[in-house]
Amino acid sequence: MFGDQLARVWDLIYQTGRGKDYHAEAELVAETVRARNPGARSLLDVGCGTGEHMVAFGELFDHAEGVDLSEPMISIARDKAPHTTFHVGDMCTFDLGRSFDAVVSLYTAVGYLPSLDALSAALRRMAAHLTPDGVLVVEPWWFAEKFLDGHVAGDVVQEDGRTVARVSRTERRDDRAHMEIHYTVADGNGIQSFTESHSFGIWTRQQYLQAFADAGCQVEYVEDVLYCGMFVGCRA
């Protein structure tokens, strides 16, 4: 999951192809944080991926750091923001030894966790990295209420002599969503194909709220923002 080949096409698919506006999303998150903590100066992005939000957070906060499980995704992020500190780590266990005025986790990174217990563990680690007035912002994956079994999607994106095709199909198996994704990348050197298998927890809004409570956090859910809404809160 999130190997080198995916890391190299991630920005092309989501930013260029799907028009995901990372800067506007980072501004919304910064406004949300400052509405609760006007003096917020530092931010940690958990599951920061290729660091597109981090580039904007670096402009919006005095100090921003990122953590992600995938070395290839972090490697792209480091190239983009060489003066920013990125850590390779698991959100369920990481310990950076400092706290932040905001801890955020965007674009459904928490959805990849293997169980609700793992979600609580990750939220506990995030909360442990908050300053006393710190704000937590977490974007979930699709709630069980909205999950579409058998959903298929497809994208073809072209840029700078490179064409990337992505097709995916997602199906429910027990309480998990299994997404199989096929990619084909064509450039001046030839055509290569690869697949990725991603697995998400299909959890209800109530189960997420319980996981935040179990992790000692008080949150509210804000609908119709970002991709899947966001939980916003603090340590209880």
Q: Which of 30, 47, 165, 232 binds ligand SAM (CB under 6 A)?
A: 47
- Could you say whether residue 177 binds ligand SAM (CB under 6 A)? no
- Could you say whether residue 6 binds ligand SAM (CB under 6 A)? no
Site mask for ligand SAM (CB under 6 A), range 65-104, x = bound: ---xxx--x----------------xxx------------
Question: For ligand SAM, which stretch binds (CB under 6 A), given 63-71, 156-164, 166-174, 182-190?
Answer: 63-71
Least separation in angstroms between residue 39's CB and ligand SAM is 25
Cβ atoms within 10 Å, residue 75: 17
Q: Which of 6, 44, 109, 121 binds ligand SAM (CB under 6 A)?
A: 109
Tell me the Ramachandran region of residue 36: left when phi exceeds 0, alpha when psi lies from -120 to 50, beta otherwise: alpha
> Which structure tokens are listed for 195?
């697949």
- What is the DSSP track for 53-70? HHHHHHHHSSEEEEEES-
Q: Which of 2, 203, 212, 231 binds ligand SAM (CB under 6 A)?
A: 2
Residues in the chain: 236
Cα(118)–Cα(208) distance, rounded to whole angstroms?
12
Cβ atoms within 10 Å, residue 9: 18
Among positive and negative, which fits the CA dihedral 215, 217, 221, 226? negative
Q: Which of 6, 33, 43, 106 binds ligand SAM (CB under 6 A)?
A: 106
What are the residues binding ligand SAM (CB under 6 A)? Answer: 2, 47-49, 52-53, 68-70, 73, 90-92, 106-109, 112
